């Protein structure tokens, strides 16, 4: 009997600074992954709203959980990517187990979730990556990855933790990679932390994954943060860190309100891209949303690529 294909499962759900979501979205696009299955949401999510079109109430759309695949890994190892639009509202452990069941056509060798960790990091510093592993053997191997250190005393909450627990009960080695973000900017997208987590994953998988796209986004957002803090002329990082602490309250009341809206917009656009990939008629809604926010040029290549793939 032929041996089933081996796979790593990489997963993320909405969380602080959208680190996991941006990392998995970037991974999906960079590797040109193909959708394998859309996981049913019944029993796990409660609709938060209904859609109304020209006065008529339409059925509410439940959050999607999509599993995509890439078969280009070294030594015949596949990659399965789980992207959840929302954390489940009910029975999260059963949801995690069901997702693993949906991946069982492959022999799952390892499970990886991507999340964030808020610290007092200076916004100009490189994001560190912390790892939480389900076994000592896995932790020892992960500590050989450049730039990764163990998560000492903390909790991995939500689905990023539940998915690890579901994998562990099946005897599948599992870990969470947490990209470091400034504690005062948890509502602001942090592609630098996403890139750091992906760099660690890239090393472990032994794949070619350029990260310049994420790093360019990181440079723009870093400039925005420095402008808000008015610290661009401060050369001493210790002085800058003190300034960060002093201005936290002001940012929370003003600048981060805008930042939170930016995160919501990014998440909404990602959801609309996922819908348009399955139903090209939805592309016009996506195009209208991008135009409305002046973002079409930034997303143009990705938007047009949907139609190149479908041709």
The 3-class SS string of 235-288 reads CCHHHHHHHHHHHHHHHHHCHHHHHHHHHHHHHHHHHHHHHHHHCHHHHHHHHH
Query: 79: which strand partners?
Result: 8, 70
C-alpha 43/C-alpha 94 separation (Å) is 10
Strand boundaries in the chain, DSSP class E: 6-12, 34-39, 51-53, 56-58, 65-70, 77-84, 107-119, 129-133, 148-150, 174-182
- 41 pLDDT band (50/70/90 cuts)? low
By CB atoms closer than 10 A (0-12, 13-18, 19+), residue 132 is: buried
Whether residue 234 is predicted with pLDDT greater than 50 in this model: the reply is no
For domain 6-211, give the fold: Rossmann fold (3.40.50)
- What is the spatial distance between Cα 23 and Cα 288, in angstroms, rounded to a whole number? 25
**Sequence-ordered list of residues with C-beta below 8 angstroms from that of 172, at least 6 positions apart, any chain:** 100, 108, 109, 110, 111
Helices 212-229 + 191-205 axis angle, to 10: 150
CA 69 – CA 33 distance, rounded (Å)? 5
The distance of Cα 126 from the centroid of its chain, to the nearest Å, equals 18
Length of the chain measured in residues = 311
* pLDDT tens sequence across 79-126: 999 998 888 877 889 999 999 999 988 899 999 999 999 998 888 889
Most confident of 14-23, 217-226, 258-267: 14-23
219-245 burial, b if ≥16 CB within 10 A, otherwise e?
eebbebbbebbebeebeeeeebbeebe
pLDDT (tens digit, 9 = 90+) per residue, 252-306? 444 444 444 555 677 678 778 877 877 777 888 888 888 887 778 777 878 887 7
């Amino acid at each position: 009997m032929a041996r089933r294909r081996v796979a790593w499962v990489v997963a993320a759900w909405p969380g602080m600074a959208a680190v996991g979501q941006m990392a998995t979205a970037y991974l999906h696009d960079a590797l040109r992954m193909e959708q394998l299955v859309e996981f049913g949401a019944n029993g796990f999510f409660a609709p938060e709203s209904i859609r109304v079109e020209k006065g008529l109430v339409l059925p509410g759309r439940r959050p999607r959980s999509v599993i995509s695949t890439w078969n280009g890994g070294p030594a015949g190892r596949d990659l399965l990517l789980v992207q959840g639009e929302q954390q489940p509202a009910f029975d999260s452990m059963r949801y995690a187990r069901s997702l693993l069941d949906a991946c069982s056509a492959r022999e799952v060798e390892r499970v990886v979730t991507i999340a964030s960790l808020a610290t007092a990091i200076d916004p100009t510093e490189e994001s560190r990556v912390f790892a939480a592993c389900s076994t000592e053997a896995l932790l020892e191997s992960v500590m050989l990855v450049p730039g990764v250190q163990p998560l000492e005393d903390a909790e991995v909450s939500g689905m990023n933790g539940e998915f690890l627990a579901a994998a562990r009960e099946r005897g599948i080695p599992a870990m969470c990679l947490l990209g470091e973000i400034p504690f005062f900017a948890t509502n602001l997208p942090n592609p630098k932390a996403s890139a750091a987590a992906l760099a660690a994953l890239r090393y472990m998988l032994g794949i070619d994954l350029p990260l310049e796209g994420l790093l360019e986004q990181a440079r723009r957002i870093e400039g925005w943060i420095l402008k808000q803090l008015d610290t661009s002329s401060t050369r001493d990082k210790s002085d800058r860190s003190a300034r960060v602490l002093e201005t936290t309250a002001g940012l929370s009341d003003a600048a981060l309100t805008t930042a939170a809206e930016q995160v919501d917009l990014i998440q909404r656009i990602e959801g609309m891209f996922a819908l348009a990939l399955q139903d090209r008629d939805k592309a016009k809604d996506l195009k209208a949303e991008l135009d409305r926010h002046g973002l079409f040029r930034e997303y143009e290549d990705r938007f047009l690529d949907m139609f190149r793939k479908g041709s």
